[in-house]
Each structure stands twice: as C-alpha cells, then as structure tokens.
A and B are shown apart, each in its own frame.
Chain A
Amino acid sequence: MSPKHLSRDTKRFLWIGILPSALLYGLFVIWPAINALMYSFTRWDGLSTPVWIGIDNFVNLFKSGSDFVTAIGHNIYLTVIPGSIILTLALFFAWMIHLKVAGSTLFRVTFFFPNVIASVAVALLWVLLYSTTEMGPINNIRQALHMEKVPFLESARLLQSIVPMMVWSATGFYLVLFLAAMENIPVDYYEAAHLDGASPTLQFIRITLPLMWDVLTTGIIFLIVGGLKFFDAVWVMENGRPSPATHTMSSLMYAKVFEEYNVGYGTAIAVLLFVLVLIITRISMRLLKRERLEY
C-alpha cells in the first residue's frame, strides 16, 4: 500500500511512532556528523576557537609519507589478506559441513566458538599466545624445536601477527553465514546435477556459488567494512600506543583527537574514513552485482 492510501490517523500514528527514534538519531548521529564535517575544515585543538583552514587538513592527510597514507595501507592489508583467507576457509568448511562430512556438527560449533568471544578478549588471548616470555606457548614450542624466538608482538611485525588472529576469530561467523545460504538451496538441483554426472566441485561452482551469491556479497562487504574500520586489536596489542608502523585509520583518528588534541585533523580522518567506506562498499557492490536467481 502506498503512503497516499493511508488514512490521516494512520499517518499521524506512524509519525508519532517514528518521531522519538528520528529525534534521537538526528541528535546523536546526524548532528554530530554535520559538526564533524565542519570541524574537518578547521584547525582546532578542541580547547580554543576553531580556525577555518579550508581543505588543508585533507591536503595534509595525503602528503607523501603522512601517517594517514601509511594507515590506509595497513587497512588495505588487514582487509585483503585476512579477508581472502577467511572467505576461502569459510566457504571451504561450510561446503564440507554442507556435504555432511564426519563430525560436521562438532566442526560447526567449534568454528563458531571464537566468534562469541569479545574482540578485546581475543586480542588479549593472542597477546599471551605470542608472548616472548615463558608464558608464550608458540615461542616455547619454537624453543623446544631449537628455533629462535619470534617477537610476534614487535610493532614492525604486528600486522602480520594479527592476520592469524583475525582468521581464527572470524572464519566461524562467515562459515555459519555461508552454510545457512547453502542449506537454503533446494536439494533437487544437486540431485539433478548428480544424475547428469556433475562432480561435487562442479556442483559447487555451478549451483552453490551462483545461488548464494547475495550472501557471499554481503560477507565480502562485511569483511571490507570491518577491515577499513579495524581498531580494537591494534589498540589492545599495542597497549593503547600504536606507532606509525601499526596505526590503522581508526586508531590514528582516535590518537589525533583524544591523545594529541588535534581535533580538526582527527575529524578530517573520520570524514575520509566514512567517505572511503561508502565509496569502496558501493564499488564492491557494483562489481559483485549479478542477476538475482530465484529458486
């Protein structure tokens, strides 16, 4: 039913219902966002009067060798490398469970388990695993094998060390997401394909992937947005003091605003982060767009 056909009372009722949420959303989301946009064009320490400087903050962000350019590189790294591994593993394990390999129920629970742990707790857990003291099991095993200790948590190699942690903690979520999509596909298609002599791999490529494409796209978008907004593990594993070797856009934004009181510059990062997430998500959605298959 179009809004035109609603009675005046119904419309009034709808407005009254929407109004509190709209007011709160406007007050706590829209208004701060507009303010942030304005502050991004100022030089402001959060203490004195903001000074309008036009696009200087944005120009400085993209100056050669700036921390922000480095941070974008880190976000891209944390999106592409763990993202592609997570996607591949989640699809593989979801497919295996879908094929009802032995112990699939146990695997489903086991893989999903890390996802219920808070991200900060996950980071702390991996700090312990990676420790170079006697507390660190990974380095203890290396030493038992007469190998040198690896300083996994050293800033220079922290981003590489975060990859296994991300894969461990996120694969289960995508596995469950993909598995749900796979299990919605009618069995008839597979039976027909089987009768036609299609191998499981061919069935996966020709039936499963096309019919779960929407969910796969959603998963990819989640991974991209998560990678671009990445913050907590870097913050925790660097003990609240990320260095230029580990800063992501979000941690740099936080450090600039709240650690250094460089509020204008920090909000410029926030604005760019928003724009980047928006653009990259739109581009990804367009690139991944396929004709929707009904079944």
Chain B
Amino acid sequence: MDRRTFLTQASGCAASASLIAAGCHFEPITKDNTKTIEVAVFEGGFGIEWHKDMARQYEQLHPGVKVNLWGDPRVDEKIKPRVLRRNPPDLASCTLPVWKLITAGRLFPLDDALASPAYGAEGKTWKETLRAGVLADYVYDDKTYALPSNLGVWACWYSKKLFREHGWSAPSTWDELTALCEKMLAAGIAPLAFQGKYPQYAWSTILSCYQRLVPFEKWYDIEDFKKGAFLDPSFVKAADLMQELAVKYFQKGALAMTHTESQMEWANGRAGMVFCGLWLKKEMEKALPDDFEMGCFPVPMVTGGTGDPKAIYSGGGESFFVFKDGKHPEIAADFLKFLLSIEPARDYVKRNDSLTPVIDCQVGIKISSALQSAVDAIEGSTRMYSDRLNTLYIEWHRTLVQQAQADLLRGAITGQQFADRLEAGAEAVRSNPNIYKPPARGVPAL
C-alpha cells in the first residue's frame, strides 16, 4: 500500500469513526441555517394527515423551520428507547411513563408558550384559547408539561338506523340499558361489542358508572388515591354492574377481540352497541356503510345513585410532550401552539369529525350526527371529568388493574375481589416512597 492510498483510507476511517462517535446527535448543517424539528405522532384512529398538513403550513409561516413529522401506530415502542438514550424527537404524542419523565426533569415546560400570544386569536394568550381543565393533568411544581391534542368523550355508540328499525331508544338509566340489551338478544343481535384484548377499555365505563353512584367528593377520592377509596361499596357495585354487562351482554368471543375486530363487529351490525371514545368514527370510517348514522349516549344513570346524572366522562387525549433533550424544544413548543390554535383546530374538526381542546373550535362547522351527539352530550353536561391514574401510576395500571379487569369481565372474580385487588395494589403504591404521588386535588373547580 502506498502512502497516498494509506492516507486516503485512514482519513476515510477517521471520518467514519467521527460520524459514529457523533451518533444520533449528528444534525445536517444546511446552507440557510434551517432548523429541523422532529415530531413523532401516534397514528391511531385519527391518522396523521392533518398533522402533516399543519407541519407544511407551519413551515410556510416560519421559513427557517422544517418539520420532520412521522407517525406510527406503535410510536411508543420507537420513542421509549430513544428517550432512554437521551435522543428523543423534539415533540411526540405517545404513551410514556410521563411522570417519571416529568420528575426526572426530561420534559420541557410549556408555560412560556402558554403565556405567549396565541396564533389566530388577537389579544389572547394561548392558554386563554384552551378549554378549562385540559392542562390540569400534567402539572408539576406549578409547571405544565403536556397538552392533549384532542378532546374525547366516553360514550356508548349505536346505529340510529338500527335503533329506528327496531323501535329502540337510547337508554337514560342503567335498568333501561339492560332492558335494551335483552331486546337486542331477543332480536338476535349481540348487545355489546367489546375490545377484549385491551381490558382497559372497561376502565372508563366502570369509573363513569361509579360516578353515577356517588357525589364527586367521593369520586375524586379514587383519583386522589385515598386509603380505602376502592373499597367503597358503590365502587364494588360499579364493578358488579360492569361484570353483569360483560357476562350477559358482551358478544360471544369479545374478550379475544382487538379494538378493530370488535368495532368492526359493531359496524357490521352483528353487535348493537359499543363503549368507546370519540375517535371511533374516524377509526372505523372505512368500514362503516355510507348510510350509517352514528349516535351515542353517555353511561346511563344508575337507579338509586347519588351522582350527578348530567356529568360526562370527557377529557383530553393523545397528549403531546416536548422533550428537553430534543434539539429545539422552544420551536417544538411553538409548533404545538400552532397545532392547537383556532384555524388548525377547526380544520381538525372538519377532517377528523372530532373535537380539540381549543375553545369553540366546532362553532359554525357542519358536523356529522356522530359528532353532534357527542357535542350535545358535552353541552348538556354539568361537568366534564376524567381519570389520571393510568398515567400517574403506570405500573399499577398496566399490570394490576388490567389483569383485575380481565378477570372481572370473564367472571373469574367478584366485584368485591376486584376492589380488594385494586386497593391492595394502591396501598403498595402509597407505601412506596419511590413513586411520585401528586398532592390531593379534590373536586376541581368548574
């Protein structure tokens, strides 16, 4: 090997080695100093087309910024190892052990962006354009660390056409619901489809049912993880009612179905109703017949219950997080502000037939019967409430609650045993000093 060849090869090796050493922190330097932010989005029922278009609009608004936006139904699995490697994207919407990230200081606080002027709403800060309460779930040390990209409603969905054909009407009490289920059985239709491969789909229904049974002062004891909260006889009753639905009225084989399989059964008319979030319409869009008229009703009032009959289980979904370890967290926060501003939000409503946390985003827009049902339920409600335990105590929820729900739904344990298991798990969390527990917040102000 001559000296020239040796030097050429050696410099090639050195360049390669330095690139490897630079690893994931390598960022191409562009001539015009364009800054690129990476945005990873959960590609669920709502897809990512809207996000992509908003990225292009943002780029036009900010010529110095390029938004590299991608989506994946399993975005979590791709992001989680990257967060551990301290190489996360700038902005992501996915399920993460978010409280571990917040307490470890890995998320970027959104407060400065929230206090800055909103896009498209002159004279208002971004915070002032958002619905009250949507920021409450991820506040730590008076700082806000996440923002939901849509507003969900937990409801029972049905086909208006099917109901008309059979002369059925949406139930307003639990007894009416079970009576309706009996009528459906008699008509040869499985009353309820259920996403059994994900037993956590029962959680919102159980909590909604419990809310119908008790005043909010009691309901929020569970959210505050107060000692003995799960042992409340009304919580046991809520679990028993859920079990009755599962054992008597779930479609045969539902416990082995994924969300798409079970929802397809409902869309094809083999099951009469399904409990789900607002994303159902968009998620099943391609499977629904053209003349399918979706309607929904909230979890009905339980006879003898003392809870607010007009409250509705509803809250933010698909939350976005800005990572401190990202390359441009400030730009990422600003892009999030743009996503959740009035014009993009209105576009979101039109395209996805859903709602966002931006105030009045649906006003003046012609919306589908499905979304109108949900809007009616929200507008007719006295309070919107939702659960935060599944993000706060992720291990407790993913293992203990998920398994206990699966056992409850297949009739392997009673409602009392279900409550005992949850309480025992909660006690283990309470006594573990290494798990962050936020201060009790009681019933949030309206």
Which of these, A139, A151, A260, A263, contacts B395 with CB under 8 Å? A260
Q: Is the CB of A239 within 8 A of B197?
A: yes
Binding stretch for chain A, among B165-173, B204-212, B253-261: B253-261
Binding stretch for chain A, among B27-35, B96-104, B148-156, B367-375: B96-104
B258 surroundings in chain A (CB, below 8 A): 239
For A132, the closest partner residue in chain B by CB is B253
B264 surroundings in chain A (CB, below 8 A): 133
For this complex, into which size category does the number of interface residues on chain A fall? 35 or more
Q: Is the CB of A45 within 8 A of B410?
A: no
Q: Is the CB of B399 within 8 A of A67?
A: yes
**Shortest Cβ distance from residue B305 to the other chain A in the assembled complex, whole angstroms:** 31
Q: How far is the CA of A88 from the CA of B252 in the complex (A)?
A: 36
* Chain A 57-78 residues near chain B, CB threshold 8 A: 67
A243 interface hit (Cβ, 8 Å): yes
B76 surroundings in chain A (CB, below 8 A): 259
B112 interface hit (Cβ, 8 Å): no
Asked, given contacts A132-B256, A148-B252, A262-B395, whether A47 binds B84 with beta carbons under 8 Å apart, the answer is: yes
B412 surroundings in chain A (CB, below 8 A): 156
A154 surroundings in chain B (CB, below 8 A): 196, 255-256, 406, 410
Q: How far is the CA of A135 from the CA of B264 in the complex (A)?
A: 11
**Shortest Cβ distance from residue B324 to the other chain A in the assembled complex, whole angstroms:** 11
Q: Is the CB of B403 within 8 A of A245?
A: yes
For the A-B complex, the count of residue pairs with Cβ-Cβ distances under 8 Å equals 95
Per-position contact with B for A75-110: 1 when CB-CB < 8 Å, else 0? 000000000000000000000000000000000000
Q: Is the CB of B101 within 8 A of A47?
A: yes
Q: Is the CB of A259 within 8 A of B80?
A: yes
Per-position contact with A for B3-22: 1 when CB-CB < 8 Å, else 0? 00000000000000000000
Per-position contact with B for A247-266: 1 when CB-CB < 8 Å, else 0? 00000000100111111000
Q: Is the CB of A261 within 8 A of B84?
A: yes
**Shortest Cβ distance from residue A295 to the other chain B in the assembled complex, whole angstroms:** 51
For A238, the closest partner residue in chain B by CB is B197
Q: How far is the CA of A130 from the CA of B97 in the complex (A)?
A: 33
* Chain A 117-168 residues near chain B, CB threshold 8 A: 130-133, 135, 139, 148-156
A201 interface hit (Cβ, 8 Å): no
A255 surroundings in chain B (CB, below 8 A): 398
For this complex, into which size category does the number of interface residues on chain B fall? 35 or more
Which of these, B97, B197, B406, B407, contacts A261 with CB under 8 Å? B97
Per-position contact with A for B75-86: 1 when CB-CB < 8 Å, else 0? 011001101100
For A151, the closest partner residue in chain B by CB is B256
Q: How far is the CA of A102 from the CA of B264 in the complex (A)?
A: 47
Per-position contact with A for B253-273: 1 when CB-CB < 8 Å, else 0? 111111001001100000000
Q: Is the CB of A261 within 8 A of B100?
A: yes
Asked, given contacts A47-B104, A132-B257, A239-B258, whether A244 binds B80 with beta carbons under 8 Å apart, the answer is: no
B203 interface hit (Cβ, 8 Å): no
A240 interface hit (Cβ, 8 Å): yes
* Chain B 394-414 residues near chain A, CB threshold 8 A: 394-395, 398-400, 402-403, 406-407, 410, 412
A133 surroundings in chain B (CB, below 8 A): 253, 257, 261, 264-265
B62 interface hit (Cβ, 8 Å): no
B410 surroundings in chain A (CB, below 8 A): 154, 156
Q: Is the CB of B398 within 8 A of A151?
A: no
Per-position contact with B for A232-246: 1 when CB-CB < 8 Å, else 0? 000000111101110
B104 surroundings in chain A (CB, below 8 A): 45, 47-48
Q: How far is the CA of A270 from the CA of B100 in the complex (A)?
A: 22
Q: Is the CB of B406 within 8 A of A149?
A: no
Q: Is the CB of A132 within 8 A of B106?
A: no
Residue with the greatest number of chain A CB neighbours at <10 A, chosen from B76, B83, B399, B400: B399
A46 interface hit (Cβ, 8 Å): yes
Asked, given contacts A133-B265, A154-B255, A263-B84, whether A240 binds B77 with beta carbons under 8 Å apart, the answer is: yes
Q: Is the CB of B255 within 8 A of A47?
A: no
Q: How far is the CA of A148 from the CA of B252 in the complex (A)?
A: 8
A46 surroundings in chain B (CB, below 8 A): 84
Asked, given contacts A47-B84, A133-B265, whether A139 binds B403 with beta carbons under 8 Å apart, the answer is: no
Residue with the greatest number of chain A CB neighbours at <10 A, chosen from B97, B197, B255, B256: B256
For A45, the closest partner residue in chain B by CB is B100
Q: Is the CB of A244 within 8 A of B255?
A: no
* Chain B 71-118 residues near chain A, CB threshold 8 A: 74, 76-77, 80-81, 83-84, 97, 100-101, 104, 106
Q: How far is the CA of A133 from the CA of B264 in the complex (A)?
A: 9
Q: How far is the CA of A263 from the CA of B196 in the complex (A)?
A: 29
**Shortest Cβ distance from residue B52 to the other chain A in the assembled complex, whole angstroms:** 25
B434 interface hit (Cβ, 8 Å): yes
B58 interface hit (Cβ, 8 Å): no
B74 surroundings in chain A (CB, below 8 A): 240
**Shortest Cβ distance from residue B99 to the other chain A in the assembled complex, whole angstroms:** 10
10 extra interchain contacts, Cβ-Cβ under 8 A, other than A131-B261, A244-B400?
A: A132-B256, A151-B256, A152-B256, A153-B257, A154-B196, A155-B199, A238-B197, A241-B402, A243-B403, A261-B100
Can you list 22 A-B pairs with a CB-CB distance of less than 8 A?
A47-B83, A47-B100, A131-B261, A132-B254, A132-B257, A132-B261, A133-B253, A133-B257, A151-B255, A152-B256, A154-B196, A154-B255, A154-B410, A239-B198, A239-B258, A241-B198, A244-B400, A245-B403, A245-B406, A261-B80, A262-B395, A263-B84
